[in-house]
Amino acid sequence: MAEINFNQTLYEVCPTGMLAIDNDVCIRWMNPALEAMLNLPGDELVGKDKGSLPESLHALFEETDMLHLSLNGEGERWLHREVREVVDGVNASLRLHFYQDISEQIEAQQESDQLRRQVEDLTITDELTGMANRHAILQALTAQVTRSRRYGNPLTLGAMRLSDPDPAAQPLPDASVLVTARYLRERLRWADIIGRYEAQMFLLVMPETGKEDAEKLLRQIMDECREGALQALGGHPVPDLAIGVAGWAKGDDPQRLIARTLEPL
């Protein structure tokens, strides 16, 4: 390897990966710890610039906190990086990159996230309201869209967004969401499916229903809530309600139908 004028012996035994990049943006030196992290001998990297290395190693020249590398098809590495500038013995500046291998932590986090998503996929009930959660209401909508495609049955999707009447307030308290959810469930027909799509929004899948009839029903519910139907709220704020309604049309998939329903909201 090329000579370097700082205490190279100390750096060679350091368990932290180290890389020196000179003013010409070439790799001037790297220590054995980084060779082990990359599973590459230093001789393949020292003296080379970004243009003379494979694209999979270009990230070595960046200075982001996180370095993600794919190594010759043998796996991936996630390295945490810190960069410092030093001056060597001939008054030339070097950019020193220090690396810690955090691949195990990243992989553990990815596994944890995957398990969490799997649990969420298996869970169909919203914890607060006890009604269908986002995953379940989307499944129900998909099933009804498939049915309408096959048989041409009418289908309407409604959305109701809740908001605090005080624009400066924080999100609605759980009590306001819960009482409103219960009233919605009581007022809808047995065939209708309601689910909590967002923290303060419900989706209502209404099979065998035209858009005009669905909109009429939701406006009635809105009026009833304004006129005191949510007495169980006690001292909690009565939410402002806004609705969106869209009827299924030929060519609609669930996401297109949702987008049209939420457009006025």
**For the chain, percent of residues with pLDDT exceeding 90:** 50
Residue 54 has what pLDDT? 85
Q: What is the C-alpha to C-alpha distance for residues 68 and 46, in angstroms, rounded to an integer?
A: 20
* pTM (2 d.p.): 0.58
Residue 149 has what pLDDT? 93
Confidence of residue 72 (pLDDT cuts 50, 70, 90): low
Residue 132 has what pLDDT? 93
Segment 181-197 mean pLDDT: 93
What is the rounded average pLDDT for all residues in the chain?
88
User: In a 3-state reduction of DSSP, which class is residue 42?
Assistant: helix
3-state secondary structure 12-41: HCCCCEEEEECCCCEEEEECHHHHHHHCCC
Q: Is CATH 3.30.450.20 correct for 8-107?
A: yes
pLDDT (tens digit per residue) in 161-186: 999 988 877 788 999 999 999 999 99
Question: Is the fold of 8-107 the same as that of 123-262?
Answer: no
Spatial neighbors of 229 by CB under 8 A, at least 6 apart, are 183
pLDDT at 56 over 90: no
Domain boundaries along the sequence of the chain: 8-107, 123-262
Segment 207-230 mean pLDDT: 94
Segment 130-146 mean pLDDT: 93
CA dihedral 62, 66, 70, 74 (to 10 degrees): 140
Q: Which amino acid would we find at residue 53?
A: L
Lowest mean pLDDT, pick from 61-65, 115-119, 193-197: 115-119
Q: What is the C-alpha to C-alpha distance for residues 88 and 76, in angstroms, rounded to an integer?
A: 33
**DSSP string for residues in 180-233:** HHHHHHHHS-TT-EEEEEETTEEEEEEET--HHHHHHHHHHHHHHIIIII-GGG
**DSSP string for residues in 151-185:** H---EEEEEEEEE-SSTTS-SPPHHHHHHHHHHHH
Residue 90 has what pLDDT? 64
pLDDT (tens digit per residue) in 221-248: 999 998 989 888 888 888 999 999 999 9
Q: What's the CATH number for 123-262?
A: 3.30.70.270
Q: Which amino acid would we find at residue 234?
A: G
